[in-house]
Amino acid sequence: MRHALFGLSALLLLGLAVHAVAQSQDGAEIAWSTSPSSIVTPSQNIDKSAWESHRGRVRTPSEDQHLVDPVLNGAIDLHAHFGPDAYSRQWDAFEIARMAQARGMRGLVFKNHWSESAGIANLVREYAAPGLEVFGSLALNTPEGGINPQAVRYFAEVEGHFGKVVWMPTHDAEHEVLSRGQARPYVRVSADGALLPEVLEVLDLIAEFRLTLATGHVTSEEMLMIVRAAQRRGIDRIIMTHPNLGPAYTDPNMEQMREAIAMGAYIEVVASQLRRAGRDEVIAKIRALGPEHCIISSDSGLVGTPNHADALVMAARDLRSAGFSERDLDLMFKINPARVLGLPDQLGPPAP
């Protein structure tokens, strides 16, 4: 099985089995005018989908540690996974919002890889945690039609206008799928060294509707092309999605990160990066790049991970003991997240 997979992925990497024109499962060529044009389906879809490839991972739920820390007062978590989802999440959107509010946080951006959450953000604000600044996001993976301008235009218009962050492809990004050696549908953002026209149309919409761009799990070169094109359109709310979390994600070098920062991008560091091998390197990079350009988010939600507030507190304590000041922490947990969402600076929780 492993060999078969490797063989196929090698073919994919060599471009032998993949064409710009995809094929349907029964082998017929698809005319893409009425269906997603940025999605490529391998001739043999062995791994089916990113959530299928997650199947069978069973974990013990984590305990709420009720960690208390001033860093939570006014914090905004830009990367809050929630249920329901196609793989198991420990808490649903209502539970996470209530927990965040009880812990003094200012806001959350709900992240799901497969479906947008602008409507859920609206309902959560009204029924679960009034006063918490909750936003939805949209990740341009296969279930949303890949790089789909129509999805972005819809997302910008959902009642309440709480749809805020648009992620370029994440788990379905060509880079992630091929670098994991998987044979499953993926979303391209570029071909022959240039961004697809659909990507530019999506960036036009992000600029027009003042949304926030997150770069997703693309290659470092693609990430830079996206940030350059965004900057040309005047987009000043850009998150570079967790660089250096691993080779299947965007894995830029310092020079590439500095180039993106110079164009206004914030570097996202997810809490788990501070609690695993390589943490010293991550801390050194934050120091070198400057806390004024970095954002800490939880990326929590999977069964077994610390809850979102606990994860942020643990990250803050790690950074504090590494020598970062309270001002640095305010920047990375409160001020920069607010700015990248276009919200006013505010250091404490919202007034009751």
Partner 1 sequence: MADEGAIKSREQRIKSLLVGAIDLHCHSGPSIMPRTLDHIEALQEASAAGLRAVLIKDHYYSATPITELLNKQFAHLGVTLLSGVPLNNALGGFNIYAVDHGIKLGARMVWMPTFTAKNHIEANASGKGFPQTSKSMLAPIPLTVLDAGGKLIPEVGPILDLIAEHDVVLSGGHLHITEIFPLFEEAKRRGVKRLLVNHPSFLIGATHDDIRALVAMGSYIEHSFCLFIEMVGRGRPPVFPPEELAALITAGTVERTILASDLGQVGNDRPVEGFMSVISTCIDLGFSDEQIRRMISLNAAELIGLDEVSQGAAASARAPG
Site string for partner 1, 35-64 (x = CB under 8 A): xx--x---------x-x------x------
CA distances to 87, 189, 195, 222, 259 from 225, rounded to whole Å, are 31, 10, 7, 5, 11
Site string for partner 1, 7-36 (x = CB under 8 A): -----------------xxx-xxxx-xxxx
Interacting span for partner 1 (CB under 8 A) from 7-15, 92-100, 264-272, 290-298: 92-100
143 vs 243, which CB is nearer to partner 1?
A: 143
36 vs 216, which CB is nearer to partner 1?
A: 36
User: DSSP string of 254-302?
Assistant: HHHHHHHHHTTEEEEEEGGGGSSTTHHHHHHHHHHH-GGGEEEE----B
CA 330, 334, 340, 346 torsion-angle sign: negative
Interacting span for partner 1 (CB under 8 A) from 68-76, 145-153, 232-240, 309-317: 145-153
3-state SS string over 71-111? HHCCCEEEEEECECCCCCECCEHHHHHHHHHHCCCCEEEEE
List the one residue out of 230, 243, 210 whose CA is nearest residue 341: 210
Using the rule CB under 8 A, is 127 a contact of partner 1?
yes
Compute how many other C-beta atoms are within 10 angstroms of the C-beta atom of residue 13.
13
210 vs 339, which CB is nearer to partner 1?
A: 210
Using the rule CB under 8 A, is 5 a contact of partner 1?
no
Q: Name, in order, each residue with C-beta under 8 angstroms of 281's C-beta and a sequence gap of 6 or more.
A: 244
Among 5, 207, 303, 343, binds partner 1 (CB under 8 A): 303
The secondary element (H helix, E strand) that includes residue 198 is: helix 197-208
Contact, 129 vs 156, CB < 8 A? Answer: no
Interacting span for partner 1 (CB under 8 A) from 82-90, 216-224, 268-276, 339-347: 82-90
d(CA 35, CA 21): 12
92 vs 259, which CB is nearer to partner 1?
A: 92
Task: Using CB under 8 A, count the residues that bind partner 1.
Answer: 54
d(CA 289, CA 267): 9
Among 67, 79, 114, 222, binds partner 1 (CB under 8 A): 114
Using the rule CB under 8 A, is 200 a contact of partner 1?
no
Among 6, 20, 54, 126, binds partner 1 (CB under 8 A): 126
For partner 1, the binding residues (CB under 8 A) are 24-26, 28-31, 33-36, 39, 49, 51, 58, 83-86, 88, 92-94, 112, 114-120, 122-123, 126-128, 141-146, 148-151, 153-154, 157-160, 185, 303
